[in-house]
């Protein structure tokens, strides 16, 4: 090690396991030690190394511990109208953990991708890692390296989706971890994995009161005919799909589409903007008199000036359904939607906050639309004019800073919550 050059390195790696749709006959058995050990040359710090492995079962390997946040202990009885990350009255935030195994038979093919990078850090980083107390500066370095390495791996997975998609047909498991290495003493700190809490936290509901002789029945079952008759197929399917997406971008867009769906339905009752109509009429007459060569082009485009904006439609929808509308918050959500839809830049903090707002707004709209059609899943039916004004919690509490808690388990075997679509590959121990 050259004088003046730090001997401490931050080692970060991102891993993803897939069940590949591939022929298994001529493949070797997957070596599970690849998951827990790797070599990274310290003389090439700053370079990202990519590795891939392909093999088959049989195998049974401990992946580690998964932590999951949930709300529990509500004072409310079933049913509870709630949505992910909304804490029902009296409930508290809890953490549960399970040990998970990776299991595969001899017909299952496992495809493994890894990206790893070494980043030089100041010598005090080793002391902080030894105490498991990362300072803010070092934590920022760790967070940035984790994001960058995961981004590299996800980019390569996207290329496989373009090139050889059978290799990534079913995602089993993601795992991102880091450790610190002292090149002088050849020591390494235990591998750790940060577990940032997704802002999509479930509530553990007590539905035992709805079970009799093993048969479950609640308002959804008893009013199934009314619910189907309400003909809200598209928004309810969007809601169903959004519940199962772990990617916040997809979840946000699916839920935003629900808001747009109802905004379009309610826009028919919007009064015409007579002021704008008069302006466009006067403008058309002026062009016809002074710039006749442009009249045909203007006539073809004048509908864009008269078209109702999405902001106007959503406001009308909220007013019809007796939901408090906040213009600044919705415009902020629309800005994120536009950025995602058009491939423009957006801030992660804005996406997280607006996903939470749109998630709540979409559910209030669907619920109130059903109630306006006479379908009440909780309580007795009441006239539309008597429905209380709904004030979304996000709007009510928007002055408070929304924070996401970060958890880390330091036992050398850290894993994230398993993908619900990969239950056949990952099971609790």
Q: Which positions ≥6 away from 29 have C-beta within 8 Å?
A: 55, 56, 57, 58, 59
The confidence score (pLDDT) of residue 307 equals 67
The confidence score (pLDDT) of residue 166 equals 96
CA–CA separation, 415 and 86 (whole Å): 25
Q: Which positions ≥6 away from 34 have C-beta within 8 Å?
A: 51, 53, 112, 114
Residue with tokens 């070599």: 39
Q: How many CB atoms within 10 Å of residue 227? A: 18
- Cβ 49 vs Cβ 15: under 8 Å: no
- The residue among 94, 93, 100, 108 whose CA lies nearest residue 21 is 108
CA terminus-to-terminus distance, the chain: 44
The confidence score (pLDDT) of residue 167 equals 96
Tokens found for residue 322: 């007796």
CA–CA separation, 224 and 395 (whole Å): 32
Residue with tokens 């058995």: 29
Q: Angle, nearest 10°, between helix axes 327-342 and 348-372?
A: 110
CA–CA separation, 248 and 166 (whole Å): 25
* pTM of the complete model: 0.75
Q: Which residues pair with 177 in a beta bridge?
A: 13
The confidence score (pLDDT) of residue 425 equals 33
pLDDT in tens, the chain (429 residues): 444 456 888 889 999 999 999 999 999 999 888 887 777 776 777 888 899 999 999 989 888 776 778 899 888 888 888 888 888 888 888 888 777 788 899 999 999 999 999 888 888 878 887 787 788 888 888 888 998 999 999 999 999 999 999 999 999 988 888 888 888 887 888 888 776 557 788 888 889 999 999 999 999 999 999 999 998 999 999 999 998 888 899 999 999 999 999 999 888 666 666 666 677 677 778 888 888 887 788 777 766 665 678 898 999 999 999 999 999 999 999 999 999 999 899 998 899 999 999 999 999 999 999 999 999 988 889 998 999 999 998 888 875 544 444 444 444 332 333 333 322 233 333
User: Does residue 306 sit in helix, strand or coil?
Assistant: helix
The confidence score (pLDDT) of residue 279 equals 74
């Amino acid at each position: 090690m050259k004088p003046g050059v730090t001997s401490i390195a931050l080692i970060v790696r991102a891993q993803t396991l897939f069940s590949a749709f591939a022929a298994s006959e001529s493949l070797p058995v997957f070596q599970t030690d690849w998951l827990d050990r790797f070599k990274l040359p310290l003389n090439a710090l700053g370079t990202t190394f990519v590795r891939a492995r392909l093999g088959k079962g049989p195998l049974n390997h401990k992946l580690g511990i998964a932590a999951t946040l949930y709300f529990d202990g509500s004072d409310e009885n079933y049913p509870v109208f709630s949505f992910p990350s909304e804490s029902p009255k009296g409930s508290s935030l809890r953490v549960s953990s399970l040990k998970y195994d990776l299991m595969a038979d001899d017909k299952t093919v496992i495809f493994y991708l890894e990206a790893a990078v070494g980043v030089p850090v100041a010598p005090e980083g080793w002391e902080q890692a030894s105490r498991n107390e990362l300072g803010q500066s070092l934590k920022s370095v760790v967070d940035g390296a984790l994001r960058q390495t995961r981004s590299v791996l996800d980019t390569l997975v996207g290329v496989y989706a373009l090139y050889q998609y059978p290799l990534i047909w079913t995602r089993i498991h993601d795992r991102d971890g880091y450790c610190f290495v002292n090149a002088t003493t050849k020591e390494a700190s235990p591998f750790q994995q940060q577990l940032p809490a997704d802002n999509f936290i479930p509530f553990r509901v007590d539905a035992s009161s709805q079970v009799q002789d093993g048969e479950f029945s609640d308002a959804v079952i008893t009013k199934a005919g009314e619910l189907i008759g309400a003909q809200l197929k598209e928004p309810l399917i969007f809601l169903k799909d959004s519940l199962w997406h772990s990617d916040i971008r997809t979840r946000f867009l699916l839920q935003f589409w629900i808001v747009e769906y109802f905004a379009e339905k309610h826009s028919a009752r919007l009064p015409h903007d007579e002021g704008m109509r008069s302006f466009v009429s006067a403008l058309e007459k002026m062009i016809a008199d002074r710039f006749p060569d442009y009249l045909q082009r203007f006539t073809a485009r004048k509908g864009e000036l008269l078209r109702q904006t999405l902001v106007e439609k959503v406001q009308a929808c909220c007013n019809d359904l007796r939901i408090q509308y906040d213009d600044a918050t919705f415009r902020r959500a629309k800005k994120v939607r536009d950025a995602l839809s058009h491939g423009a830049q957006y801030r992660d903090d804005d996406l997280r906050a607006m996903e939470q707002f749109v998630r709540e707004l979409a559910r209030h709209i669907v619920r109130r639309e059903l109630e306006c059609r006479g379908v009440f899943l909780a309580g007795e039916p009441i006239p539309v004019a008597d429905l209380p004004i709904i004030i979304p919690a996000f709007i009510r509490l928007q002055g408070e800073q929304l924070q996401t808690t970060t958890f880390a388990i330091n036992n050398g075997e850290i894993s994230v919550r398993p993908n619900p679509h990969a239950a056949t590959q990952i099971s609790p121990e």
